Chains A and B, each alone.
Chain A
Amino acid sequence: MNVLLCSINTLKRLYDISAVEVGQHFYWQIGGFLVHAQVLITSWVVIAILLVSAILVIRNLQTIPTFGQNLFEYVLEFIRDVSKTQIGEEYGPWVPFIGTLFLFIFVSNWSGALLPWKIIQLPHGELAAPTNDINTTVALALLTSVAYFYAGLSKKGLAYFSKYIQPTPILLPINILEDFTKPLSLSFRLFGNILADELVVVVLVSLVPLVVPIPVMFLGLFTSGIQALIFATLAAAYIGESIEGHH
């Protein structure tokens, strides 16, 4: 009996150690809202990384750029390229938005994959990439929705809504549905990819702690970068779609 109890206890302990939990959050109460504090903390870190690096780089600008400035200019050129190919000629005002999306998501994803967040242990839940949480991705996707509505309305006025019956009025329900599926697909794609990446890494780490997770971590890095690019590209594409003239 005693042996059985002991073995059950041992199993329970083992289970505790190798447990991988999803949906555990560290809550803060702000006003009437319960917020996921781990997401806020990691977002702040990401924002701090971006701001500090930007400030460090722009402190000493040169005509022929030095390393940091060169890198940042390259990134900016890349973002402008993406915006230009997706939005078209009037891409200028949207570069900051697309750039913010891309940089935030990219640095978030890579911070989740590269920074040893788990060294700091929260009372509940754990630190991970901000995009690991559906709230972050939904917020970004809704921002994209607002942005493309604003772009279309400010470009065409109320004539923007004529695109809902554009090929034929029969497609009206589908066109309306699209406005809901766009943010939904954006947010779930990003959330699912990042969560899956981190879960795979965590599961592998809990099974075989060394060496084996490394290829998967590289895969995660690759996927994270691709996801950031996809999110930014799709946001730009939606904006471009809503400001392009009908034919």
Chain B
Amino acid sequence: MKNITDSFLCLGSWPSAGSFVFNTDILATNPINLSVVLGLLVFFGKGVLRDLLDNRKQKIWRTIRNSEELQENAIEQLEKAQARLRKVETEADLFRVNGYSEIKREKLNLINSIYTTLEQLENYKNEAIDFEQQRVINQVRQRVLQQALQGALGTLNSCLNNELHLRTVSANIGMFGMMK
């Protein structure tokens, strides 16, 4: 009787000391409950976890796609802007070249007109100088003539006597007669 109960009660192995042993008592090690818990956990947890992770994945995917679209848009706009920049640059070059030539032409025109004006002024100046010279020469001539006449008159008044007077008159008459 005692042996039977002993063997019944000692179903599991109960090592007293020593090394690691596998416990084969299925009730004490509790694998059934554990597997049930694990199974339920996997069964219910899987759906929730999958939803969660799918949502997250979708979000990441959407974000990446949005960013890619944005990047494409940005690149397109950049290209457009670059094209416009090139166009504007060529236009600006054209304007610049035109402007330069215009300026050069204007400059030449201005120089020419100024040159002609200058020449005219030079002419006027020369004419004025000539005129002045003529006038001065005339004045000088008149003065010299006047002085000569006065000198001659003085000389005549001082040293003129009858004989000389007669001689001179006759000489002049002879001279006029010859000129005639």
Contact = CB atoms under 8 A, between A and B. Distances in A.
Contacts of A210: 27, 32-33
Dominant SS among interface residues on chain B: helix
A9 B64 contact: no
Interface residues of A, number: 37
Interface stretch (A10-18, A151-159, A185-193): A10-18
A121 B25 CA distance: 11
Interface in B1-52: 1-2, 5-6, 9-10, 12, 14-23, 27-34, 36-38, 40-41, 49, 52
B56 interface: yes
Interface string A53-92: 0000000000111010011011000000000000000000
Contacts of A22: none
Given A114-B38, A123-B17, A209-B27, A67 B33 contact: no
Contacts of A205: 27-28, 30, 33
Contacts of B2: 6, 9
A123 B19 CA distance: 6
A70 B55 CA distance: 10
A201 B33 CA distance: 10
A214 B36 contact: yes
B23 A121 contact: yes
B1 A65 contact: no
Contacts, number: 96
Contacts of A93: none
B61 interface: yes
B34 A114 contact: yes
A119 interface: yes
A121 B21 contact: yes
Interface in A178-219: 201, 205-206, 209-211, 213-214, 217-218
Interface of B: 1-2, 5-6, 9-10, 12, 14-23, 27-34, 36-38, 40-41, 49, 52-53, 56-57, 60-61, 64
Interface of A: 6, 9-10, 13-14, 16-17, 63-65, 67, 70-71, 73-74, 113-116, 118-124, 201, 205-206, 209-211, 213-214, 217-218, 221
The 6 A-B residue pairs with the shortest CB-CB distance in the complex, in nearest-first order: A13-B9, A209-B27, A121-B23, A118-B29, A70-B53, A121-B21
